[in-house]
Amino acid sequence: MADFDLVQFDLDGTLIDSVPQLAEAINDMLASLGHATQTVDAVRHWVGNGADMLVQRALTAARGEAPDAELHRHARGLFDEAYAGHADGALVFYPGVLDTLERLRSAGKRLALVTNKPYRFVPGILAAAGLSSHFELALGGDSLAEKKPSPAPLLHVCERLDVSPARSLMVGDSENDVLAAKAAGMAVAALTYGYNYGRPIADSQPDWVLDDFAGLAALLKL
């Protein structure tokens, strides 16, 4: 079992179950456009590629066809406005997340966050979650030119924190996390409880498949 100095975490579907808030914002957006609202389960399968793609998938489902660029831009503005009001409401952590993050910190592991969520929402969510000081660096899906599944954000974190990819572990819930980690030359542990378009994350062949977050402690020999 490898040893790691740095652990990079995904946010949605890995640390917090953010789909209820995302679904509220999507449904606010759809309602203001006069469209029928969508179920939380439907929204769960659309999360993973950032807000632009989430809005695109929701509009396409609600309208039966893809939106043009202008409608998409307008809808994205409505979504952002709505999500700003919902993002840090009633956050639900997955079991074991807070304890395990504390154990990692006490053991001297360095922690970072790489989400595809737009960065403007990240500091508020981390503050509401009490996690603001846990991560040395947090990147959103629009922090760099490329988001996961590109390895760019993961490599950027390694470079900024001066830790090699070989000494870094990625922890996520989606094939985007697994693909980004593999392309970055990093090992990856994937949680089965998150969002992966409704498909088993094991299909993406992460190095480890974990059913619960506390399993990370054993993996990291804590």
What is the contact surface with ligand PGA in residues (CB under 6 A)? 10-13, 47-50, 54, 115-117, 174
DSSP state of 37: P
Q: Catalytic: which of 3, 5, 10, 80?
A: 10
Cα 154 → chain centroid: 13
Torsion (CA) 99, 105, 108, 113 in degrees, nearest 10? 120
Which C-beta is closer to ligand PGA: that of 113 or that of 163? 113
Q: Where are the alpha helices (DSSP H) in the chain?
A: 19-32, 40-44, 50-63, 69-86, 97-106, 122-129, 152-161, 175-184, 215-219
Query: What is the rounded (10 degree) CA torsion for 53, 54, 58, 60?
Result: 10
Using CB under 5 A as the binding rule, the residues of this chain from 63 to 122 that contact Mg ion are: none
Nearest to 94 by CA among 8, 214, 197, 177: 214
12 labelled binding-site residue = yes
Decide which of ligand PGA, Mg ion, none touches 78; Cβ closer than 5 to 8 Å per partner kind: none
Give yes or no for residue 17 binding Mg ion (CB under 5 A): no
Q: Identify whether 10 is a catalytic site residue.
A: yes
Nearer to ligand PGA, 118 or 165 (CB): 118
Q: Nearer to Mg ion by C-beta: 77 or 200? A: 200
What single DSSP character describes residue 91?
A: -
* 88 is known to lie in a ligand binding site: no
Q: Residue with the closest Cβ to Mg ion?
A: 13
The interface with Mg ion within residues 120-179 (CB under 5 A) comprises 173-174
Nearest to 191 by CA among 9, 45, 53: 9
168 binds, among ligand PGA, Mg ion, none (CB under 5 to 8 A by kind): none
CB 195 to Mg ion: min, Å? 6
Residues acting as catalytic residues: 10
